[in-house]
Structure 1
Amino acid sequence: MMILLRMAVMLLPVLGVGSGLYAWQSHRKSAATAAMGTTPPPTRVAVAEAQLLAAPRRRAGVGTLEAVRRVTLAAEVNGRVTRIFFEPGQAVKAGDPVLQLNDAPERAELERLKAQAHAAELAYNRTRQLAPHAVPQAQLDDREAALRSVRADIARIEAVIAQKLVRAPFDGVLGVRRVDLGAYIEAGRVIATLTDLSVLYITFTLPEQAWSELKPGLVARFTVDSSPGRVFTGRVQTVEPQIGATNRAITVQAVADNPDLALAPGMFANVQLELPPGPQAIVVPETAIDFASYGATAFVVRAKAAGAGQAPVLVVKRVLVQAGERFEGKVVVLSGLAPGDRVVTSGQVKLHDDVAVEPVARDTLAVPQTH
């Protein structure tokens, strides 16, 4: 019993000090609350106005880049390679020599035929001067036929000589070399590929629902993985007149310039085909819409009547909206908003119905610039 009394005597000072501290802190909180008032300050948010615009319409598709002009250079005749005029990957102009086959026998034959042609021409001219009085017309005809025959042989041998010099048919870039100097190759042997990279096709597919909207001249914007963040532009040239029976897809082909050679045949492309603008629609910044599993919502800023002599208070209301197509950081709202409605574009995490807000000049979520 004595021990309990002694413990109680010892705890009394401690309890007194604790009670004093609690009373002092309660007094400070009460004073702070009284000074600030019971209404919390408005939440600062960024606000944008719903606008009525003719929103662009697009169709998304995937496709592949293809060369407008691409050939496999090959020898037309048999022969031994005597000269190679190119290095793999070299750019060439139309008509530039690519490969030479041995044409020495043909050139020797050409010289012989030229000599025969000269002799045949002299004989024909002498006979023509004598005809028709000194020589019969039949002899003149024979001389003329002999001259034409030799000239035909010359044309034939010149064509063979030309076949033994392979030239580039158009401007382009040569690929990997497939022949070696001194090798004997047969007609049809692949020498290298030649690809014109200045202009490319973008071949992509769209669902059959887009059939009535497609026509040549539409703008097709596309991206490729090798140039992240860059958007390339082409124009529709051809719409396949038949819809695929297996996938019900339409094949569309656009053409795009490639001046800096950033594109190459075979690349995968994500395509956005721009269609003519549709009717006007309500458009808001994409950050104003909260997409959730139960639907899309937005916070609309409205003025709430205040007491007599006081300015109206701005509060927010969460409304359900139906979002449509997105473009350039904006979204089309099909229902739920009206033109002129002010919607919150940042700061929504702190909001709920009837919370007072204070619009700010700039987006509160924007990253501050550093100097």
Structure 2
Amino acid sequence: MMQGQPPVPVELQEVTSSTVEEFSEFVGVLEAEDRVALRPEISGRVVQVFVEPGERVEAGTPIARLQAEQSRAELGGATADVEASIASVNTAEAQLRAAEASQARAAADLELENTELERTQQLVTEGALPQQDLDRARNLQQTTAAALRVAQEDVGAARAALTEARARLNRSRADQTVAREDLQDSEVVAPIAGLVGDVPVRVGDFVSSSDVITSIIQNDVLELNLAVPIERSPELRVGLPVELIGGDGEAVARGQVSFVSPEVDAGAQSVLAQAQFQNNGVLRDGQFVRTRVIWNSAPGVLVPTNAVTRVAGETFVFVAGTPDQCPQEGPPGAAPPAPPGGPEGEGPSQVALQRPVTLGILQDNSYQIVSGVEEAEQVVVSGVINLQNCAPIMLQQAMGQPEP
């Protein structure tokens, strides 16, 4: 122990067991779960924009409207054709009903004339009527049969006319549907719920079906794409924890690997890994982020980096101990050295013991101690530069504030 040296003010920290994680940091890119680029179905001039960038919309929300006067005129003409076709169908149905009624009357007349012809022929055979009456009855029956045939032809023609009228009605209704769809195509609507991206078009701009009006981004869940070097690919597996790191080095979101590509990017010699994260409101589609893939975690001992010193390539920490733990000075059997302040002075209650340690991984601002320090020991975390082995120490708060 150093003789007569005043205690060095230090801060101590108790060594505790914590979770030690082996991890690697990468830069990845976030992608929205679903993203749709909106393009108009028709070409036209923008007459109205309903949304602002960043606005949240539901599926079916109008985004923009294009000029649609021609579509409206086409829809009006198609609607008029439908109405005219309906009238034609109604007329054809009425004509068919009239032809069928005439056919029914002609059939009844023929049945009557057939009966009359048979009765007259019987009477002529019996000599009750002259042959002339039979000829007249036969002629009337033939005339009635001809009338029935004409009525049947009229029914066939009426049915054909009705079929054609109905076909025209179907065609006009189809034209009306197309015209209505063309009119609807002039209004661009959101196909999914999400946030509106940039809106590059303005009222008055002419756009075609190849122009992007805006994008709808569904970013409640974001997918992280990581390119992991092929050297670490054997350790990649679904379920590995992944953290997003903020500017202060702290984790802002935590997820896990959900997909590992079976292929290697030949150019970059990397493997694609993906993880999903719930958006906490600060993450953005297309954002580059620092990430931490945690390969393994286990209980271990950590000490702050400022507690570690290096001498001649070896690493040490100072732990708080008692003077009797220091090596004795002088020859064996000599009296123990006098404490500071003389034989009757009060000696230091604690000294700094220099302890060689074996370091593991660096985690945040702490080193893993593989060996050299045990749990519950007190390590010196400030004032280390002024210490030597067995130097007396005193807690800094006990020394009072230094004068300026």
Q: What one-letter code is carried by the residue in structure 1 that aligns with 2:297?
A: P
Query: How far off its partner does 1:141 sit?
Result: 4.2
Q: Secondary structure at the match of 1:109?
A: helix
Q: Give the structure 1 partner of residue 267 of structure 2.
A: 246
**Could you tell me how far apart the structure 2 residues matched to 1:56 and 1:93 are?**
42
**Could you tell me how far apart the structure 1 residues matched to 2:240 and 2:349 are?**
52
**Could you tell me how far apart the structure 2 residues matched to 1:83 and 1:343 are?**
69
Correspondences of 1:125-144 after superposition (within 5 Å): 134=100, 135-136=155-156, 140-144=162-166
Tell me the TM-score normalised to structure 1 length.
0.70
**Could you tell me how far apart the structure 1 residues matched to 2:398 and 2:267 are?**
49
The reply on whether 1:115 has 2:137 as its aligned counterpart is no
Q: 1:274 to 1:356 in 2, by over 3 A?
A: same
Q: 1:247 to 1:294 in 2, by over 3 A?
A: farther
Q: What one-letter code is carried by the residue in structure 1 that aligns with 2:320?
A: V
Q: Give the structure 2 partner of residue 332 of structure 1.
A: 368
Q: 1:195 to 1:54 in 2, by over 3 A?
A: closer
* Structure 1 gap ranges (5+): 1-36
Correspondences of 1:1-371 after superposition (within 5 Å): 39-86=4-51, 89=53, 91-94=55-58, 95-124=60-89, 134=100, 135-136=155-156, 140-169=162-191, 170-181=193-204, 183-196=205-218, 198-208=220-230, 209=232, 211-216=234-239, 218-223=241-246, 231-236=251-256, 237-258=258-279, 260=281, 262-275=282-295, 277-278=297-298, 280-290=299-309, 294-305=313-324, 314-358=350-394, 360=395
Q: Secondary structure at the match of 2:82?
A: helix
Q: Secondary structure at the match of 2:354?
A: strand
Identical counterparts, % of pairs: 23
**Could you tell me how far apart the structure 1 residues matched to 2:195 and 2:239 are?**
27
Q: What one-letter code is carried by the residue in structure 2 that aligns with 1:245?
A: A
**Could you tell me how far apart the structure 2 residues matched to 1:149 and 1:196 are?**
41
Query: How far off its partner does 1:66 sit?
Result: 3.5
**Could you tell me how far apart the structure 1 residues matched to 2:47 and 2:234 are?**
55
Q: What one-letter code is carried by the residue in structure 1 that aligns with 2:182?
A: V
Between the two proteins, the alignment pairs up a number of residues equal to: 321
Contact 2:40–2:188 at 8 Å: present in 1 too?
Answer: yes
Q: 1:105 to 1:233 in 2, by over 3 A?
A: same
Query: How far off its partner does 1:158 sit?
Result: 1.7
**Could you tell me how far apart the structure 1 residues matched to 2:241 and 2:89 are?**
65
Q: Give the structure 2 partner of residue 18 of structure 1.
A: none
Q: Deviations over 1:244-301 (max 9, x none)?
A: 33333232333444454x44444432112345633x2222233322257724321233
Q: 1:142 to 1:71 in 2, by over 3 A?
A: same
Q: 1:58 to 1:122 in 2, by over 3 A?
A: farther
Q: Secondary structure at the match of 1:172?
A: strand
The answer to which structure, 1 or 2, has the higher relative contact order (CA under 8 A, 6+ apart) is 2
Q: Give the structure 1 partner of residue 150 of structure 2.
A: none
Q: 1:334 to 1:242 in 2, by over 3 A?
A: farther
Q: 1:363 to 1:38 in 2, by over 3 A?
A: closer
Q: What one-letter code is carried by the residue in structure 1 that aligns with 2:57?
A: K
Q: Secondary structure at the match of 1:55?
A: strand
Contact 1:81–1:185 at 8 Å: present in 2 too?
Answer: yes
Q: Give the structure 2 partner of residue 24 of structure 1.
A: none
Contact 1:220–1:254 at 8 Å: present in 2 too?
Answer: no
Q: 1:53 to 1:247 in 2, by over 3 A?
A: same
Q: Secondary structure at the match of 2:262?
A: coil
Largest Rg, 1 or 2: 2
RMSD: 3.9
Q: What one-letter code is carried by the residue in structure 2 that aligns with 1:347?
A: G
Query: How far off its partner does 1:214 sit?
Result: 3.3
Q: Deviations over 1:97-148 (max 9, x none)?
A: 33322212221221222232234345546766858x9344655544443332
* Structure 2 gap ranges (5+): 101-154, 326-335, 338-345
Q: Deviations over 1:159-200 (max 9, x none)?
A: 21122112233432341523551x443331333444455554
Q: Secondary structure at the match of 2:167?
A: helix
Query: How far off its partner does 1:323 sit?
Result: 2.0
Query: How far off its partner does 1:62 sit?
Result: 0.9
Q: Give the structure 2 partner of residue 13 of structure 1.
A: none
**Could you tell me how far apart the structure 1 residues matched to 2:22 and 2:385 are?**
31
Contact 1:46–1:363 at 8 Å: present in 2 too?
Answer: no
Q: Deviations over 1:185-239 (max 9, x none)?
A: 3331333444455554433333342543432573422225xxx677521524443
Contact 2:240–2:294 at 8 Å: present in 1 too?
Answer: no
Q: Deviations over 1:70-113 (max 9, x none)?
A: 444333222233333345x3625133333322212221221222
Q: Secondary structure at the match of 1:318?
A: strand
Q: What one-letter code is carried by the residue in structure 1 that aligns with 2:273?
A: V
**Could you tell me how far apart the structure 1 residues matched to 2:323 and 2:296 are?**
42
**Could you tell me how far apart the structure 1 residues matched to 2:387 and 2:273 are?**
47
